[in-house]
Amino acid sequence: MKHSKVIEVLKSDKLLQPVVVKGWVRSFRNDRFIAINDGSTIHTIQCVLEDDTFDKALTDRITVGAAVTVSGTLVESKGSGQRVEIQANSITIEGDADPEELKLTILSPKKHSLEKLRQQAHLRVRTNTFGAIMRVRSKLSFAIHEYFQKNNFYYVNTPVITGSDAEGAGEAFKVTNFELNKVPTTQEGGIDYSKDFFGRETNLTVSGQLEAETYAMGLGQVYTFGPTFRAENSNTSRHLAEFWMVEPEVAFCDLDGNMDLAEDFIKYVLQYILDNCQDDLEFLEKRLVQEDKSKPQAEREEMLLRDKLKFVLEHNFKRVSYTEAIDILKNSKPNKKKKFKYPINEWGADLQSEHERFLVEKHFKCPVILFDYPAKIKAFYMRLNEDGNTVRAMDILFPGIGEIVGGSQREERLDVLKEKMAALNIPEEELWWYLDTRKFGTCVHSGFGLGFERLVLFVTGMSNIRDVIPYPRTPLNAEF
Amino acid sequence: MKHSKVIEVLKSDKLLQPVVVKGWVRSFRNDRFIAINDGSTIHTIQCVLEDDTFDKALTDRITVGAAVTVSGTLVESKGSGQRVEIQANSITIEGDADPEELKLTILSPKKHSLEKLRQQAHLRVRTNTFGAIMRVRSKLSFAIHEYFQKNNFYYVNTPVITGSDAEGAGEAFKVTNFELNKVPTTQEGGIDYSKDFFGRETNLTVSGQLEAETYAMGLGQVYTFGPTFRAENSNTSRHLAEFWMVEPEVAFCDLDGNMDLAEDFIKYVLQYILDNCQDDLEFLEKRLVQEDKSKPQAEREEMLLRDKLKFVLEHNFKRVSYTEAIDILKNSKPNKKKKFKYPINEWGADLQSEHERFLVEKHFKCPVILFDYPAKIKAFYMRLNEDGNTVRAMDILFPGIGEIVGGSQREERLDVLKEKMAALNIPEEELWWYLDTRKFGTCVHSGFGLGFERLVLFVTGMSNIRDVIPYPRTPLNAEF
């Protein structure tokens, strides 16, 4: 008989009928009650052993972590806590889990620190917390694809290995097939890249935007969703060396359309998670409430996790120009009382995380879209406004997370783009193909990048970005 | 007024109502008929200019490749070839396309070779052929996600940068943050990886399988879908250095279940494309018919593109053991007449592409699943059969494509796995985390890898893998 997923059995109304489940033992109480989880849901199915039906040699092997097959009859549960349970007729141990060895791992049934869980990242998905996070992450990925596909966007796989480093700013990882202790040199003493696999210097992509723009100029509306890399030596709870990014790009769309798209998109995926991940969200919400109990009152969350998601859904993102934001910050209490590490004195300053948090968490108390930033603190491809000083950039700031989206209307005018590149010493030869998009039927177009893991952080309420990706890559850490 | 997508306008029944479209000029006939494409569909919308309504200064700028906005009234078309057209009231040139410069590109309206299109990969998506391919590719990606999500699989992002090279076999690209001409060495003269970004040697992943297995042991059923890399110096029409791979992994599933899954999965996504990409498939089918006209009869396709997809849908994949396949090959005409480059003499031989093609295209004339291969020609993690000589591996072979899926039941027995690793000199320390999955509740499990671009080749009928990915990476080629 084919086995059923626990998620199906828990919803089943086929009482008194035979059922088979396969999964891992989460607990075994009183030599009678096995709780089995198979990863399909955060819940376990309770399997009940009638007294004396099973040999002690068998029941001794029903230990936490063991893989088992249970065949039996689905019945209404007599206990509280579950609607149905399985009266076990037969139990097979598929794989043992030696309790002595298990004791040394995070699978042992006691509380482990998140840091310890990270060190055993290959096992942590078997805990309730990480099972929930990774199911939510998966659903969130799908919601992203579904949103764009429903709205006639085409998915584009921009290259991971790239020859251009225009955006890299020295933060791109190198990719090579050289033996690192035998790197060939040219007669002039430089590196002889002509002998490398690709015959040129290559890096890991820091953004698929430029390639996505070329595709938007053909398919109209595209999006990327893939891994992105930064060799940035920042060991913070918000940075990864390898992360996933979503980058839509839309032809014939200006910055206002871009803001509308970003807001609509984010609200769609949050609604999807509220609709499709109720059990996992409920668990993660309770987890946060527990965690908050050990914190001082001032540091506790003001809202429950699901209320926070609903709050974002129900409110318009506040759209504020950079210039307005600077005014607010200049006149803010923390600025006047010199509480900011970087005081805001004048227009043109780059905003730090402390400023973004003030705007979002204290001043507006809702997601904020900042736009029209000073040209000099933003990238070369952003469209210059008529004032000659600002560009049509936007950042979306989220409470507790900070920047979750960065985007812009792109400079569609060939001459302006070339001037900007020249001023920044970006060689035209390197981006000849990018410039071509402005030569042949250029048009107003816009796009943004959303850091996927930051979105997962927001949705799950976790606070360290290492906890929302299966195997995090950070400075000095590429285990597994 | 908001503009509409061409795909919507062509289906619209809002006759005599105002409409705005934005897109690129594909042709401009008799100073009257503009065909506009916006990438949303392979079709163009015809916009008709009434005589003398527009200045010559404007109409002179309506050239192939120019970006335009056309406002007008949707009317029934008087011409043949389209149901509706737009009577233009106003035309704006968003971006010119100088005909003299355009003449030097593949956007010029004449036939260009696929090789020339590859050299201008940033523009080729604006041609009918590549627009169609890339729309099909996008829909195929979504079908893959939809299939797995509907069937309760969770999407897992396995790491791209990896510290383990157990599967790499020297074909993994190196990732580093070292200056390549200043690689630090240890006192013993080796490379001092402790000074690199991750503090260890790192590569680009050649497969997410091992990490996916750890997740299947927690979430039950998972799949990856992401970029994968091989530094293999093979300049063929079937290999890329960077390609996308789909890798499902299922706990409590044996090889038979794995074959069922693969077949069901492939059929689902093919049906999805037949249902959702009719226009693009029709175009690609006609393209092939045209192409075939220049070929000798013997090399022409026996079936039309869509018939080929339907054929796969309507037939069971033929399941044949390696041993049976060897018998068939040994006794085949080409083997007896010494037509194979690699003659099949005995059991144990690795099958070459010529053998696979014979089985699929000549002998069985349908997709074939070969299984139970000799252990010595397959990877260390495949489950050893009771005969001690074969492993529970399977390859799915497709007509015209060859191997499209490679999978196996995994060796779930810790002792057998360790023996195999020892025999192949794979250090246990490197895969301690992988071995842990066999220590704590191991179970029968299986999975496979599907080369996404090979599937796109099959569905689009293209013959070079460089033509089904936006920016192909191959030896000596990482432009764009």
Q: Does the distance separating the beta carbons of A142 and B433 come in below 8 Å?
A: no
- Within a domain: B341: no
Half-sphere exposure of A317 (CA within 13 A, CB side): 26
Q: What is the pLDDT along chain A (480 residues), one digit of tens a residue?
A: 899 999 999 999 999 999 999 999 999 999 999 999 999 999 999 999 987 789 999 999 999 999 999 999 999 998 888 899 999 999 999 999 999 999 999 999 899 999 999 999 999 999 999 999 999 999 999 999 999 999 999 999 999 999 876 665 679 999 999 999 999 999 998 999 999 999 999 999 999 999 999 999 999 999 999 999 999 998 899 999 999 999 999 999 999 999 999 999 999 999 999 999 999 999 999 999 999 999 998 888 889 999 999 999 999 999 999 999 999 999 999 999 999 999 999 999 999 999 999 999 999 999 999 999 999 999 999 999 999 999 999 999 998 888 999 999 999 999 999 999 999 999 999 999 999 999 999 999 999 999 999 999 999 999 999 999 999 999 999 999
Buried b (16+ CB within 10 A) or exposed e, A36-48: bbbbbbbbbbbbb
Looking at the structure, do residues A401 and A462 belong to the same domain, yes or no?
yes
Per-residue pLDDT tens digits for B237-271: 999 999 999 999 999 999 999 999 999 999 999 99
Dist CA A361 CA A226 (whole Å): 30
- The residue type found at B325 is A
* pTM score above 0.95: yes
Question: Is pLDDT of B298 > 90?
Answer: no
In which band, very low, low, confident or very high, does the pLDDT at B74 lie, cut at 50, 70 and 90?
very high
Nearest to A166, CA basis, from A208, A225, A212: A208
Interface check for A199 against chain B (CB to CB < 8 A): the answer is yes
Residue B318, min C-alpha distance to chain A (Å): 23
For residue B231, list chain A residues with Cβ-Cβ distance below 8 A: 177, 197
Looking at the structure, do residues B98 and B133 belong to the same domain, yes or no?
no
Q: Which CATH number do you get for residue A247?
A: 3.30.930.10
Q: Does the distance separating the beta carbons of A211 and B94 come in below 8 Å?
A: no
Q: What is the mean pLDDT of residues B374-402?
A: 95
Helix, strand, or coil (residue B104)? coil
Q: Does the distance separating the beta carbons of A95 and B441 come in below 8 Å?
A: yes
Minimum-distance CB partner of A157 among B176, B244, B477:
B244
Half-sphere exposure of B436 (CA within 13 A, CB side): 24
Dig out the tokens for A477 from the structure: 């850490």
- Sequence-ordered list of residues with C-beta below 8 angstroms from that of A176, at least 6 positions apart, any chain: A196, A197, A202, B173, B174, B176, B180
Helix A452-460 vs helix A255-276: crossing angle, to nearest 10: 40
Sign of the dihedral defined by the CA atoms of residues B457, B462, B463, B465, in that order: negative
Dist CA A390 CA B221 (whole Å): 49
Residue B167's pLDDT is what?
64
Residue A261's pLDDT is what?
98
Dig out the tokens for A245 from the structure: 């990014």
Domain encompassing residue B240: 128-171+206-317+366-467
- Within a domain: B353: no
Interface check for B211 against chain A (CB to CB < 8 A): the answer is yes
Looking at the structure, do residues A86 and A211 belong to the same domain, yes or no?
no
CB atoms within 10 A of CB B286: 12
Residue A301's pLDDT is what?
86
Q: Does the distance separating the beta carbons of A97 and B441 come in below 8 Å?
A: yes
Looking at the structure, do residues B289 and B143 belong to the same domain, yes or no?
yes
Distance of CA B23 to the CA centre of its chain: 28
Q: What is the mean pLDDT of residues B29-35?
A: 95
Q: Does the distance separating the beta carbons of A478 and B159 come in below 8 Å?
A: yes
- Sequence-ordered list of residues with C-beta below 8 angstroms from that of A55, at least 6 positions apart, any chain: none
CA angle A374, B93, A222 (to 5 degrees): 60
Helix (H) / strand (E) containing B290? helix B278-293
- Within a domain: B111: no
Q: What is the DSSP letter of B457?
A: H
Looking at the structure, do residues A100 and A218 belong to the same domain, yes or no?
no
Q: Does the distance separating the beta carbons of B67 and A442 come in below 8 Å?
A: yes
- Within a domain: B360: no
- Within a domain: A116: no
Asked which of A61-75, A378-392, B70-84, B272-286 is least confident by mean pLDDT, the reply is: B70-84
Q: What is the mean pLDDT of residues B218-235?
A: 96
Looking at the structure, do residues B238 and B306 belong to the same domain, yes or no?
yes
Dig out the tokens for B181 from the structure: 């001409």
Dig out the tokens for A23 from the structure: 């999964």
Per-residue pLDDT tens digits for B116-130: 999 999 999 999 999
Residue A300's pLDDT is what?
87
Dist CA B95 CA B89 (whole Å): 19
Looking at the structure, do residues A137 and A258 belong to the same domain, yes or no?
yes
Q: Does the distance separating the beta carbons of B412 and A437 come in below 8 Å?
A: no
Q: Does the distance separating the beta carbons of A433 and B480 come in below 8 Å?
A: yes
- Within a domain: A178: no
Residue B165's pLDDT is what?
66
Place of tokens 């790197």: A183
- The residue type found at B93 is I
Dig out the tokens for B108 from the structure: 């010029």
Q: Does the distance separating the beta carbons of B160 and A227 come in below 8 Å?
A: yes
Q: Does the distance separating the beta carbons of A480 and B163 come in below 8 Å?
A: yes
Looking at the structure, do residues B254 and B291 belong to the same domain, yes or no?
yes
Strand duo A402-409 + A67-76: pairing:
unpaired
In which band, very low, low, confident or very high, does the pLDDT at B168 lie, cut at 50, 70 and 90?
low
Dist CA B243 CA B453 (whole Å): 7
Please return the burial class of A35, using the count of CB atoms within 10 Å of its CB with bins 0-12, 13-18 and 19+. Answer: buried
Interface test with A, best of B157, B247, B452 (most A CBs within 10 A): B157
Q: Which CATH number do you get for residue B38?
A: 2.40.50.140
Q: Nearest residue of B to residue A222 by CA position?
A: B138
- The residue type found at A5 is K
Residue A400's pLDDT is what?
87
Looking at the structure, do residues A76 and A215 belong to the same domain, yes or no?
no
Q: A residues 433-452 near B, CB within 8 Å?
A: 433-434, 436-444
Dist CA B246 CA A332 (whole Å): 51
Looking at the structure, do residues A284 and A371 belong to the same domain, yes or no?
yes
Contact status, residue A127 vs residue A106, Cβ threshold 8 Å:
yes
Please return the burial class of A73, using the count of CB atoms within 10 Å of its CB with bins 0-12, 13-18 and 19+. Answer: middle
Contact status, residue B85 vs residue B47, Cβ threshold 8 Å:
yes
Q: Does the distance separating the beta carbons of B227 and A157 come in below 8 Å?
A: yes
A221-229 β-sheet, strand order: A154-155, A221-229, A242-251, A445-451, A402-409, A390-398, A368-374, A318-321
Q: B residues 449-478 near A, CB within 8 Å?
A: 469-471, 473, 475-478
Helix A255-276 vs helix A128-150: crossing angle, to nearest 10: 130
Dist CA A47 CA A35 (whole Å): 6
Q: Does the distance separating the beta carbons of B138 and A154 come in below 8 Å?
A: yes
- Within a domain: A357: no
Looking at the structure, do residues A294 and A442 belong to the same domain, yes or no?
yes
The dihedrals phi and psi of B75, each to the nearest 5 degrees, come to -135, 165
Looking at the structure, do residues B232 and B380 belong to the same domain, yes or no?
yes
**What is the count of structural domains for chain B?**
2
Choose one of A71, A104, A137: the last residue of a domain.
Answer: A104
Interface check for A27 against chain B (CB to CB < 8 A): the answer is no
Minimum-distance CB partner of A65 among B159, B231, B441:
B441
CA angle B212, B217, B218 (to 5 degrees): 100
- The residue type found at B461 is G
- Within a domain: B158: yes
Three-state SS annotation for chain A: CCCECHHHHHHCCCCCCEEEEEEEEEEEECCCEEEEECCCCCCCEEEECCCCCCCHHHHCCCCCCCEEEEEEEEEECCCCCCCEEEEEEEEEEEECECHHHHCCCCCCCCCCCHHHHHHCCCCHHHCHHHHHHHHHHHHHHHHHHHHHHHCCCEECCCCCEECCCCCCCCCCCEEECCCCCCCCECCCCCECHHHCCCCCCEEECCCCHHHHHHHHHHHCEEEEEEEEECCCCCCCCCCCCEEEEEEEEEECCCHHHHHHHHHHHHHHHHHHHHHHCHHHHHHHHHHHHHHHHCCCHHHCCCCCHHHHHHHHHHCCCEEEEHHHHHHHHHCCHHHHCCCCCCCCCCCCCCCCHHHHHHHHHHHHCCCEEEEEEEHHHCCCCECECCCCCEEEEEEEEECCCEEEEEEEEECCCHHHHHHHHHHCCCCCCCCHHHHHHHHECCCCEEEEEEEHHHHHHHHHCCCCHHHCCCCCCECCECCC
Q: B residues 173-192 near A, CB within 8 Å?
A: 173-178, 180-181, 183, 185, 190-191
For residue A97, list chain B residues with Cβ-Cβ distance below 8 A: 439-441
Residue B50's pLDDT is what?
87
Helix, strand, or coil (residue B264)? helix
Residue A161, min C-alpha distance to chain B (Å): 7
Q: A residues 120-149 near B, CB within 8 Å?
A: 120-123, 125-126, 130-131, 134-135, 137-139, 141-142, 145-146, 149
Contact status, residue A3 vs residue A38, Cβ threshold 8 Å:
no
The dihedrals phi and psi of B415, each to the nearest 5 degrees, come to -65, -40
Residue B302's pLDDT is what?
85
Place of tokens 């949103």: A147
Nearest to B202, CA basis, from B228, B167, B176, B239: B176
Choose one of B55, B71, B104: the last residue of a domain.
Answer: B104
